[in-house]
Amino acid sequence: MKLNFRTRTGKIFRHDNRIRKKLSGLLCGVDEAGRGPVAGPVVAAAVIFGDDTFIEGIFDSKQVMPAKREVLFEEIINSAHTYGIGIVDNKKIDEINILNATKMAMSIAVSRLKEIPEMIMADGNFFSYDTAKVENMIKGDARSYSIAAASILAKVTRDRIMCEYQKAYPNFSFSSHKGYCTLNHIDEILEHGYTDIHRRSYKLKALQGELF
Amino acid sequence: MNLGAYGENSALNFLEAKGYEHVARNFRFQRAEIDLIVKDESKKLVVFVEVKTRKNNKFGGPEESVTQKKTEQICKSAEGFILQHPEFADYAKRFDIIAIIMDGKSNTINHFENAF
């Protein structure tokens, strides 16, 4: 198959290959999903690819259609060298705050890799890891192939978790809003109150003075 | 590196990711060994961890292979550790199992808190 490297996937794929050439060890991408929502866990993923694993379509998970993400999820898992997922629940988020919980989820994801990478590229500007060099990249999920792949693993995993919660909390439409603060979700909270999976530390302006 | 040592490394990375600090590894007291000892200083908590690593799940989960005799040995060894390290005497104690299955492309790491 002839590969078209002029697509957005091709561009970020080349970006990673340029970095990989300078390394002797493995290159890992890390990203998270679920920092914004008021319910559910924060999920992070770490992915290590070999240098010739090109999957057309990989890009920032926010810019890929949900159905396509599901397909890419399977392809990434099948062709990655190794991957890891980290999940931190809403109770822990309330206890240690969302930034620390996100760092924790990312570290757990890295610890589940089968091998320790030489370099980790992480989306954002806050990650650190003891046993590997870390390169933080703002908007990394649209600049690095490995981070973009991690963003898809994290997003799909989190969406699946939220769809499972739909069964446990039929009063809430977690399978559609995924815990994000949509108008519909706010109405549901006003009507039914918080559930066990809501992040109590998130103070919603729309709810001030109405719940307490 | 053998499977056991590889598993202990992974377990330690995992526990450190969860915010625990490393205290000791392969602590031996008389004939009983504890794979990992970690602490959570903010909670004044010391955790004794048994790590079980498997290449697959065919013979039941790794956690099922921790026998009563083994748990008794670990408890005894934990007492020995506290005797040798009196700074932990007033810490809360907990016994955990970390079960690692190295099947496929991602290590499955299950953490059982208060396992015995």
Closest residue of chain B to A100, computed from CA coordinates: B19
Euclidean distance between CA atoms B31 and A158, whole angstroms? 45
Distance from CA of A41 to the nearest CA of B (A): 15
* Chain B interface includes A91 (CB < 8 A): no
Whether B109 sits inside 8 A of A111 (CB atoms) is: yes
Whether A112 sits inside 8 A of B109 (CB atoms) is: yes
Helix axes A8-21, A145-168, angle to 10 degrees: 120
Distance from CA of B52 to the nearest CA of A (A): 15
Q: Around Cβ A111, how many Cβ atoms within 10 Å?
A: 25
Whether the complex's predicted ipTM surpasses the cut of 0.85: no
Residue of A60, A40, A63 whose CA lies nearest to A150: A60
Domain count, chain B: 1
What's the domain range around B55?
3-112
What value, to the nearest 5°, has the Cα angle with vertex A134 and ends A111 and B10? 15
Euclidean distance between CA atoms A123 and A116, whole angstroms? 18
pTM for this prediction:
0.89
Asked whether the predicted pLDDT for residue A209 surpasses 80, the reply is no
CATH number for the domain spanning B32: value is 3.40.1350.10
- Per-residue pLDDT reduced to its tens digit, A85-136: 999 999 999 999 999 999 999 999 999 999 999 999 999 999 999 889 999 9
Residues 130-169, chain A, touching B (beta carbon < 8 A): 130-131
pLDDT for position A212:
47
Q: Which CATH class is domain A8-207?
A: alpha beta
